[in-house]
Structure 1
Amino acid sequence: MKRRDFSLAATSLGLLPLASPSHAQARMFTAGKDFVQLGKPAPVDSPAGKIEVVEFFSYNCPHCAAFEPRLETWIKTLPAQVVFKRVPVAFVGNDVETKQRLYYTLEAMGKVDEHQLKLFQAIHSQRQPLFGDAAILAWSEKQPGLDAKKFAELFKSFSVSGKVKRATQLQNDYQVGGVPALGVAGRWYVDGELAGNLDRALQITDYLISEARKG
């Protein structure tokens, strides 16, 4: 979804078959056309020798919801050298900080993998009104295996608030123009609009990972 007018070309939802990493690496993509090479590197938190790949997303974004199943399949193909992270953005909708805190609360509890796709389905398929702090806290109380008391404590904690601020800063460092989008090694940025569609964005990301591995 575009950052300002919250729309994205329909081609970004193209249902192309996912390319294998070897196929993607055999292709050539061009900076300024297929992806952006950052003028100033964005900070990375991954250990030395690792390649950090970041997905920028919003729970409020229908394109992110449609992308999630394909993304989860792609994540399983990543080399061991890659560290994959998610960053909730500070735009799309009127409760962006709430949704950012939702993500980082789940992350702190080790529950992202269990609930990521479920949340997208709840909001975009089941049309559950998960907007605002009260609705999110009420949602947490209904989730089997989720400690609602701990969730509420973390949701309002300084540590989660700090992660929200860092997420917004990283979003700005990467100059994110729309979601879903991907950042690689603090050096490159691609989204569905640049790539033409989201499956091609994953192919480009595979290519950029191969470039990062060269040093």
Structure 2
Amino acid sequence: MISPRRLFLSRFATLLVMGSITRPLFAAVAGQDYQIISTTPLAGKSVEVLEIFSYACPHCAHLAPFIEPWSRKLPAGVVYRRIPVTFGHDQWTVLARAYYALEAMNEVNRLQEKVFAALHEQQINLFSEDVLFDWVAAQKVNRTKFIDLYRSFAVQSKVQQGDQRAMSYGVDGVPTVIVDGKYSTSPSQAGSNAALFPVLNELIATELAAKR
């Protein structure tokens, strides 16, 4: 049976995904909707929202149509970032390197959902570097520049640093969203993809108020 609380979240999902984060319509519960992973926020005046994901993850693919438009409408003072983790998997490493190469070319926002669709809907084997390079070129991305970035030391370092940061937060599954280094939540913890956003909105509002 669906709890009244989960039913409430589902009914307000559309509003809350795109709505204001300044006046939450419910109170998120620590240990139920999110975890407290630190009592100290990140330094600085901005609130960081960190999506930890992998293109290989089908749950991340399902979340993308929700989190992409939401992330583009965050208020001033909120910084949205992504970390593509590998969890030590070679295939996931290919995709993490692809993400950072696309990021360096300012192509992530344009291609984020297309990468997910290629993998999970069109069944294109982007784990293969040759297939990946051909696919990227077909998206009108400079193939040579992409390959150079993909194979660069800078991208390799970012992959390692991203994995280390995810580990420091105790992340053992994706998608996971970290708010300002203090809170961790996910669709599975919140109850659904749509139910994630009222939780995030409340946590962000709390941290914005604390940093004023």
> Which category of TM-score, normalised to the shorter sequence, fits these structures?
0.7 to 0.9
Asked if 2 retains the 8 angstrom alpha-carbon contact of 1:60 and 1:92, the reply is no
C-alpha change, 1:210 and 1:23, in structure 2 (3 Å) is closer
Counterpart for residue 4 of structure 2: none
Q: Which secondary structure state, in structure 2, belongs to the residue aligned with residue 21 of structure 1?
A: coil
Asked if 1 retains the 8 angstrom alpha-carbon contact of 2:38 and 2:181, the reply is no
* Structure 1 residue identity aligned to 2:14: P
Asked if 2 retains the 8 angstrom alpha-carbon contact of 1:31 and 1:37, the reply is yes
Q: What is the TM-score normalised by the length of structure 2? A: 0.85
Deviation readout 1:62-109 (Å, 9 max, x if unpaired): 111121111122113311111001111113965011111000000011
C-alpha change, 1:170 and 1:69, in structure 2 (3 Å) is same
Asked if 2 retains the 8 angstrom alpha-carbon contact of 1:61 and 1:92, the reply is no
Q: What is the TM-score normalised by the length of structure 1? A: 0.84
Residues 1:180 and 2:175 are matched in the alignment: yes
Q: Which secondary structure state, in structure 2, belongs to the residue aligned with residue 182 of structure 1?
A: strand
* Pairing of 1:84-103 with structure 2 (within 5 A): 84-91=80-87, 94-103=90-99
Which stretch shifts more, 198-207 or 152-161?
Answer: 198-207
C-alpha change, 1:81 and 1:51, in structure 2 (3 Å) is same
* Pairing of 1:188-207 with structure 2 (within 5 A): 188-207=183-202
Counterpart for residue 5 of structure 2: none
Counterpart for residue 17 of structure 1: 14
* Unmatched tracts of structure 1, length 5 or more: 1-13
Deviation readout 1:169-212 (Å, 9 max, x if unpaired): 11112212322221100111001121111211111011100111
Q: Which secondary structure state, in structure 1, belongs to the residue aligned with residue 109 of structure 2?
A: helix
Deviation readout 1:130-155 (Å, 9 max, x if unpaired): 113232222223222x1111101100
Counterpart for residue 153 of structure 1: 148
Shift in Å, 1:53? 0.3
CA distance in 1, matches of 2:134, 2:195: 38
Shift in Å, 1:38? 0.7
Counterpart for residue 29 of structure 1: 28
Counterpart for residue 116 of structure 1: 112
Q: Which secondary structure state, in structure 1, belongs to the residue aligned with residue 14 of structure 2?
A: coil
**What is the aligned-residue RMSD (CA, Å)?**
2.3
Counterpart for residue 8 of structure 1: none
Asked if 1 retains the 8 angstrom alpha-carbon contact of 2:54 and 2:60, the reply is yes
Asked if 2 retains the 8 angstrom alpha-carbon contact of 1:52 and 1:83, the reply is yes
- 119, 137, 144: which one pairs with 2:133? 137
Q: Which secondary structure state, in structure 1, belongs to the residue aligned with residue 49 of structure 2?
A: strand
* Structure 1 residue identity aligned to 2:177: L
Residues 1:209 and 2:208 are matched in the alignment: no
* Structure 2 residue identity aligned to 1:166: Q
Residues 1:171 and 2:172 are matched in the alignment: no
- Residue identity over aligned pairs, in percent, reads 33
Aligned residue pairs total 199
Asked if 2 retains the 8 angstrom alpha-carbon contact of 1:34 and 1:204, the reply is yes
Q: Which secondary structure state, in structure 2, belongs to the residue aligned with residue 99 of structure 1?
A: helix
Return structure 1 stretches of 4+ with deviation > 6 angstroms: none
Residues 1:64 and 2:64 are matched in the alignment: no
Counterpart for residue 106 of structure 1: 102
